[in-house]
Structure 1
Amino acid sequence: MTTNGSNPIMMIKLFPFNSIKKATLTIFFCLLSGFAFPQAESAISKQSFSNFKKYYNASKFDSIYGMFSSQAKTSLPFEKTNAFLHSLKSKYGNIESYNFTAYDNAFSVYRTEFEKGQLLINIAVDENNQINGLFVKPYLPETSTVSKRNTTAMHLPFKGEWTVFWGGDTKELNQHAGVEFQKNAFDIIMTNSANKSFKSNGKTNEDYYAFGQQILSPCDGEIVVAVDGIKDNIPGVANPLYIPGNSILLKTKNNEFVFLAHFKQNSIQVKQGDLVKQGQVLGLCGNSGNSSEPHLHFHLQNVDDLLQATGIKCYFEKIDVNGTTKMNYSPIKGDRIIEAKQR
């Protein structure tokens, strides 16, 4: 939990169950600073939600309350927690199954199948493995058809040859595969002939070949979000408080959204509302946010809202892959890639 040197603000919001389509069902909500970029499910969240399900299905609501942090218990006494959970169970029954979908402001989001319907349960766990945030809201499935691939022609967002560290459709190839909105994402680094990403001892960002390299717009579009000012990390020490770091969200003419993250601090050269051309410099590669070394995170999604988005598989128009020119290709882990015209 982030407090920025002060106590977190807590608000109790309890709504009747017949208003579920209009309001969020909330036990308590802990305001946390910073924006969280969905990543793989943490072991702490996984265990906490497993225990929550076990106690909930056994109607051991006192055991759930026992998982709360002291601040959470102060915010919501046992009587209110007990009443809420009884109402939830009366309306929806036991939990049958669940799937981790994303992170949102330090909350792990689980799409949860009850006996009588589906809900999203959001749970935040502190460093002591105690629950300090928990709320429930309706699950609204995506009804529109999501493209399986991009319709906008895409070019590589950099000059020179880079290496795909994560990329592909399986968890073995791509750690992003299990998260809905970034399931087809790439993490891309620069490496030398020995496949090392840094020179010297790798203790400074300047040791990394990717650091300070220009990041280019992969297509024409409009800047929807541009975040700058987040400091670069010391290599090996990530910043989980603002996971994307300095980042850009770009909307294409075909209403596809391109997300680029981990720019160098104060290097972004565009702002919200700017119209950009393919090949235009957006900023410099950095090591900001939840990043252990300088690299570029790149993915496409179908809408601008990260929590409602579905990832779109990205195919680049014409690139050289491991020395061979490929048309309409989506790179995978280990590929060394460069825009074909740069050879």
Structure 2
Amino acid sequence: MKKLIALLIIFGISTMTFAQGEKEISQKTSSAFKKYFNQNEYKAIFDMFSPEMKTALPLDQTLTFLENVKSQAGTLKNLEFVKYEQGTVALYKAQFDRTILGLNLSTDQNSKINGLHLKPYQDDSQPILERNISSLILPFKGEWTVFWGGDTEELNYHVTTPAQKGAFDFLIMDENGKSFSGDGSKNEDYYAFGKELLAPAAGEVVLAVDGVKDNKPGTMNPFFVTGNTVIIKTANNEYLLLAHFKQHSIKVKQGDQVTQGQVLGLSGNSGNSSEPHLHFHIQNMEEMSQATGAKSYFKSIKVNGKVKTDYSPIKGDRISN
């Protein structure tokens, strides 16, 4: 899925503390929002705005924003009240057809919407992982290059997404810094395509998706973001996610117990991927839309020809087990 437009417009929010039970006005506002959203009556939502909101987000922008949300996320199936943030801003767990988001709604003294925000939903009841506890190996054989990895947006564009903030994208590059031979028009031109991918740690396979087609290089599939995917749950409740496998190459199934280094499948170009590569990250729960990511440290690997222990690679590193 393409990244949803993040909209945050809030006026005159009180910082007083209120009880956490949902107030009647919040309930009425959220119910009306859900009804009008699902009926494509976006102007009715605009009519619920305060004067300040209407100025900040004119009708044409409101229509465009809500239409984009509907096209990317689908119908709003359920709104579950979670708590109040900043005193009067109601947070809802918004279950759409294709994702789960956090919806903030606030109202002014005239019961008009003066705050609206959609964001990735994070379940605060889940344990937060700072880093892996389990001993990890790199999930491949031979030398690969870190295309995205690190703690800053310059090194790693994933850092802005909660579940993927510790993610890596790995490629195989030649001595000239190219990831393919020939003209790069076919997946087979790419050095990473079809290479064996390994279990970084032992654990249980909790998800195995194998039927997503590989993209033609340069195109992407935003509707199946991770494409063909394996998620392994370790004994330490870490969820290791490996994405973009080659179609029909995955050798494990849900419920399997895997050992560290076991072959899971082959590297491919499925999902939201423009060329064959491996996406890998750790998260604190299985559902990526609700998860928080953790940083990955590998026990002992070669980095640019030198052995490093308990190391988390960064963009540009050439690494191998």
TM-score (norm 2): 0.71
Unaligned regions of 5+ residues in structure 2, if any?
A: 2-22, 40-45, 71-83, 109-114
2:54 is matched by which residue type in structure 1? K
- Match of residue 172 from structure 1: 154
Identical-residue share of aligned pairs (%): 47
2:196 is the alignment partner of 1:251: no
Q: Any idea what SS the aligned residue of 1:68 has?
A: helix
One of 246, 258, 269 as aligned partner of 1:264 = 246
Q: Any idea what SS the aligned residue of 1:226 has?
A: strand
RMSD: 4.3
Q: Any idea what SS the aligned residue of 1:187 has?
A: strand
Counterpart Cα distance in 2 of 1:213 and 1:140: 34
Q: Structure 1's 279 and 93: CA in aligned 2 closer, same or farther, altered over 3 A?
A: closer
Task: Check conservation: 2:198, 2:261, Cα contact below 8 A.
Answer: yes
- Match of residue 5 from structure 1: none
What is the Cα deviation at residue 141 of structure 1?
A: 5.5
- Match of residue 217 from structure 1: 199
Q: Any idea what SS the aligned residue of 1:176 has?
A: helix
Counterpart Cα distance in 2 of 1:140 and 1:238: 26
1:26 is matched by which residue type in structure 2? K
1:54-102: per-residue Cα shift (whole Å, max 9, x none)? x656253995487437x97xx9xxxxxxxxxxxxxxx999999x9xxxx
1:256-288: per-residue Cα shift (whole Å, max 9, x none)? 000010000110111111111111111100000
- Match of residue 224 from structure 2: 242
2:281 is the alignment partner of 1:299: yes
One of 197, 202, 206 as aligned partner of 2:184 = 202
- Match of residue 334 from structure 1: 316
Task: Check conservation: 1:95, 1:112, Cα contact below 8 A.
Answer: no
2:135 is the alignment partner of 1:153: yes
Q: Any idea what SS the aligned residue of 1:201 has?
A: coil
One of 16, 34, 39 as aligned partner of 1:26 = 34
Q: Structure 1's 28 and 208: CA in aligned 2 closer, same or farther, altered over 3 A?
A: farther
2:171 is matched by which residue type in structure 1? I
Moved more, 200-209 or 140-149: 140-149
What is the Cα deviation at residue 312 of structure 1?
A: 0.7
Task: Check conservation: 2:122, 2:291, Cα contact below 8 A.
Answer: no
Counterpart Cα distance in 1 of 2:220 and 2:99: 18
Task: Check conservation: 1:213, 1:285, Cα contact below 8 A.
Answer: yes
One of 192, 196, 217 as aligned partner of 2:174 = 192
One of 50, 60, 63 as aligned partner of 1:68 = 63
1:140-187: per-residue Cα shift (whole Å, max 9, x none)? 761455231100111000000000000000000001001111100000
Unaligned regions of 5+ residues in structure 1, if any?
A: 2-14, 32-51, 76-90, 124-136
Counterpart Cα distance in 2 of 1:193 and 1:92: 52
Counterpart Cα distance in 2 of 1:302 and 1:65: 39
| 1:55-204 equivalent positions in 2, closer than 5 A | 58-60=52-54, 63-64=58-59, 67-68=62-63, 109=101, 112=104, 114=106, 121-122=117-118, 142-143=124-125, 145-204=127-186
Counterpart Cα distance in 1 of 2:134 and 2:85: 43
- Match of residue 280 from structure 1: 262
TM-score (norm 1): 0.67
Q: Any idea what SS the aligned residue of 1:273 has?
A: coil
1:329 is matched by which residue type in structure 2? Y
Counterpart Cα distance in 2 of 1:122 and 1:28: 16
Q: Structure 1's 261 and 23: CA in aligned 2 closer, same or farther, altered over 3 A?
A: farther
Moved more, 151-160 or 300-309: 300-309
Q: Any idea what SS the aligned residue of 1:165 has?
A: strand
Q: Any idea what SS the aligned residue of 2:34 has?
A: strand
What is the Cα deviation at residue 242 of structure 1?
A: 1.0
Counterpart Cα distance in 1 of 2:202 and 2:229: 17
Q: Structure 1's 107 and 147: CA in aligned 2 closer, same or farther, altered over 3 A?
A: closer
Counterpart Cα distance in 1 of 2:259 and 2:151: 29
Q: Structure 1's 58 and 245: CA in aligned 2 closer, same or farther, altered over 3 A?
A: same
- Match of residue 318 from structure 1: 300
Task: Check conservation: 2:146, 2:313, Cα contact below 8 A.
Answer: yes
2:52 is matched by which residue type in structure 1? A
Counterpart Cα distance in 1 of 2:85 and 2:127: 29
Q: Any idea what SS the aligned residue of 1:26 has?
A: helix
May I ask how many residue pairs the two structures share in their alignment? 269
